[in-house]
Structure 1
Amino acid sequence: MHIQTAAVHTLRDFEHGAVVPPVHLASTFELDRASEEGEYAYQRGANPTRAQLETVLAALEGAAHGFAFASGMAATAAALSTLQVGDEVLLPASVYGGTYRFVDLVLPGRGVTGRFVDDLGALTDEDFTPATRAVFVETPANPTLRITDLRRIVELAHRHGALVIVDNTFMTPVLQRPLELGADLVVQSATKYLAGHSDLLAGAVTTDDDELAAALALAQKAQGGVLAPQDSFRLIQSLKTLPLRLERQQANAEEIVAHLREREDVRQVWYPGSHSAEEARIHASQATGRGAVLSFELAPALDRTRFLQALRYPAYAVSLGGVESLICRPATMTHEAMTPEARAHAGISEELLRLSVGIEDARDLLADLDQALEAAAR
């Protein structure tokens, strides 16, 4: 079954011939009075609507197990909660700011160490210690769009008994399938492309490993950061259009990248594979597209504030993946939790802008960028 068909038809045969699933709002479920057992007992542990969503998430990722959480950070925290006291996790220096905050401020209190690496692609056996139990990968990285060779990281990490956790938010299972490349856990901020309308907070984790699945189920029940039934239903519905939305968003992004690269008033444009021919080759070998997020810097003579104020269509806001275009300044928005030194170390300049491209008509977006660039030059 192709992914667009799976997005629509994974769930079938509902009561009364309904073509969409029901929403089960119950917080508690009656148990058998003799055995005291039942498929469901309390919503935090499991809920029929959330279970249906998790079935779809697993199907889209080609995974054995899927788990839905209340936010992308709740999903990331659950994945990292599989680590134990004394463990170490390796991460890219440019990792998403929320992940950086969690690893930098929360994990040490749990006895887990995070080590931020300049370039995961340059990892060698010497970078692993007996404490290294996981490598957390973003490819493309946020917001630098750097690419990491997943096959190489998987082989290297597994040789040292470490898990590979991949944040696949930018690519989604439509464009990249890390589990098929050997990753152990895939996390996504479902708030972004999976939900796709900037009106829903959610997170997802998928895995093929039964033991990790048991640990994630425990994290749901013990930590309680689960997705509510109404939001689970809404995400099921949104997922049905994910491949279609992403196809349009990516086509728009390709046009914008090509256009901005032709303008002398744009100093640099970053897009997956743009950093080197080798990164382009790696990305093409592990993904089927480059997504719909790009980053760029204006030429020094332009006024960034005037440029942002002149834009009509992209909202100046955090997040990404919605049907509407969004633009942000990572240094003060998505990655503000990092110190200036950490951002510089990660290659996130004060002038870097990140654009998440929506489904608008590309001609309108291009015209808007052009007039904003002209306004910034006055």
Structure 2
Amino acid sequence: MHFDTLALHATHQSDPTTGAVVPPIHLSTAFARNEANELPAGYIYTRPNNPTREALEKALATLEGGAVGMSFGSGQAATMTLFQALRPGDHVLLSTDAYYGTPALLEQVFHPWGLTYTRVDMTDLDAVLASIHENTRVIWCETPSNPMLTITDLLTVSRIAHDAGAICVCDNTWATPVLQRPLELNCDVVMHSATKYLSGHSDVLGGALIFKHNNEFTQRVRQLQSLSGAVPSPFDCWLISRGIKTLGIRVRAQTATAKVVAEFLNGHPAVETVHYPGLPNHPDHILIQQQMNEPGAMLSVQVKGGAEEALHFIGKLKLFTRATSLGGVESLIEHRASVEGPNSNTPQNLLRISIGLEHAEDLIADLAQALR
């Protein structure tokens, strides 16, 4: 099936009791046993399993083409649970250009616990190969990356991981399964911050892991999900499922607008650099065409000057909301280095832009008046 049909039907389960087209939200935390002390539907308590969460997890697996889907209370909770499934003394290889919360988890939580990690430029395949240790268990990719939109060759990096006896995990939050299917590129696990494009309306927090195989490692993560309780509420699961129904049409519309906006900014005299996978001058333009259907709706722009000029520019915008998130129906912009803090490696003149569903001409007019 085409993606739009798949997304709609993966999240559509009519209620067998009432015939309701929209499935109910199962808010109950406890489930009754019958006279024989059996659990008729297999549900015992909402922390280990819940009908609404189970429906979402099945849909997530379907969308990414995986065997098992798991949902979490946030993208960070999903990331943390996967790292918890490793053992003290294991080694993680992580991109230098990754969402700042991922290395923060490794450094502040898991390094004291005994997990080691190395950060490497994932676009330099020789450096990736040279950074493999005997105890490397995970290579963590993020493509396109946040916020520099660098691209990782998933086929090659996953091969490097497998040759080393490790698994390859891809943060697919920015691309979504609409634009990129990492499991089809031999990755083992896909991570999503479901807060972003999957839910799509900036009103719910969530995370997800989708596993290519239902193996021992997958079951260990499932066990940790249940024991830790880092799971979304049934209502959160229902909201994410509702967002998935329109995921394809939203992402394609946002991408079409992002292309036009990126082209406008790329030729503007007040702009130093535009980082966007859809521009012909992107250093990984050929690789992008090989592993992505479209370049997506995220871009970063470096204005001429420094932090002062960047902040002055976004202060004059009227249609873009100055906020920290992405993937919603409204266009957002933020000074990324301010968000990441004093240890940020992000250029001080860089602004991260999430394109929403406004008309392209209106967004460009707003950018033009702010850049004047």
Task: Tell me which amino acid in the other structure corresponds to 1:12.
Answer: Q
What's the CA shift for 1:56? 1.0
What's the CA shift for 1:303? 2.5
Q: 1:353 aligns with which of 324, 347, 351?
A: 351
Q: 2:322 aligns with which of 303, 310, 316?
A: 316
Is 2:152 the partner of 1:154?
A: no
Match of 2:142 in 1: 138
What's the CA shift for 1:213? 2.6
Is 2:333 the partner of 1:327?
A: yes
Match of 1:206 in 2: 210
Equivalent pair of 1:163/1:183 in contact (CA under 8 Å)? yes
> What is the distance in 2 between the residues matched to 1:34 and 1:174?
46
> What is the distance in 2 between the residues matched to 1:26 and 1:307?
49
Q: Structure 2 length as normaliser, TM-score?
A: 0.94
What's the CA shift for 1:118? 2.9
Q: 1:234 aligns with which of 233, 239, 243?
A: 239
Match of 1:47 in 2: 50
Match of 2:29 in 1: 27
Is 2:76 the partner of 1:73?
A: yes
What's the CA shift for 1:63? 1.2
Q: Cα deviation per residue 1:225-269 (whole Å; 9 max; x = unaligned)? A: 101001111111111011111111101100011001111111110
Task: Tell me which amino acid in the other structure corresponds to 1:310.
Answer: K
Equivalent pair of 2:259/2:278 in contact (CA under 8 Å)? no
Q: Cα deviation per residue 1:3-24 (whole Å; 9 max; x = unaligned)? A: 1111111233422221111111
Equivalent pair of 1:107/1:114 in contact (CA under 8 Å)? no
What's the CA shift for 1:275? 9.1
Q: 1:271 aligns with which of 270, 273, 276?
A: 276
What's the CA shift for 1:349? 0.7
Structure 2 residue ranges without an equivalent (≥5): none
> What is the distance in 2 between the residues matched to 1:244 and 1:110?
43
What's the CA shift for 1:274? 5.4
Q: Cα distance 1:276–1:367, how it changes in 2: closer, same or farther (>3 A)? A: closer
Instruction: Indicate the larger mover: 262-271 or 15-24.
Output: 15-24
Is 2:286 the partner of 1:286?
A: no
> What is the distance in 2 between the residues matched to 1:250 and 1:144?
17
SS at 1:331's partner residue? Answer: helix
Q: Cα distance 1:205–1:124, how it changes in 2: closer, same or farther (>3 A)? A: closer
> What is the distance in 2 between the residues matched to 1:370 and 1:120?
33
Match of 2:119 in 1: 116
Equivalent pair of 1:69/1:226 in contact (CA under 8 Å)? yes
The two structures, once aligned, show a CA RMSD in angstroms of 1.7
Task: Tell me which amino acid in the other structure corresponds to 1:7.
Answer: A
Equivalent pair of 1:40/1:46 in contact (CA under 8 Å)? yes
What's the CA shift for 1:82? 2.2
> What is the distance in 2 between the residues matched to 1:310 and 1:188?
32
- RCO greater where, 1 or 2, for CA within 8 Å and sep 6 or more? 1
Match of 2:362 in 1: 364
Q: Cα deviation per residue 1:167-210 (whole Å; 9 max; x = unaligned)? A: 00000000000011111110000000011111110111101221
> What is the distance in 2 between the residues matched to 1:21 and 1:67?
19
> What is the distance in 2 between the residues matched to 1:274 and 1:107?
38
Equivalent pair of 2:129/2:160 in contact (CA under 8 Å)? yes
Structure 1 residue ranges without an equivalent (≥5): none
Task: Tell me which amino acid in the other structure corresponds to 1:21.
Answer: P
SS at 2:89's partner residue? Answer: coil
What's the CA shift for 1:308? 1.2
Instruction: Indicate the larger mover: 118-127 or 37-46.
Output: 118-127
Equivalent pair of 1:133/1:162 in contact (CA under 8 Å)? yes
SS at 1:109's partner residue? Answer: helix
Equivalent pair of 1:273/1:279 in contact (CA under 8 Å)? no
Equivalent pair of 2:201/2:329 in contact (CA under 8 Å)? yes
Instruction: Indicate the larger mover: 94-103 or 11-20.
Output: 11-20
Q: 1:298 aligns with which of 297, 303, 312?
A: 303
Equivalent pair of 2:196/2:325 in contact (CA under 8 Å)? yes
Match of 2:313 in 1: 307
What's the CA shift for 1:273? 6.3
Q: Cα distance 1:62–1:119, how it changes in 2: closer, same or farther (>3 A)? A: closer
SS at 1:210's partner residue? Answer: coil
Match of 1:107 in 2: 110
What's the CA shift for 1:313? 1.1
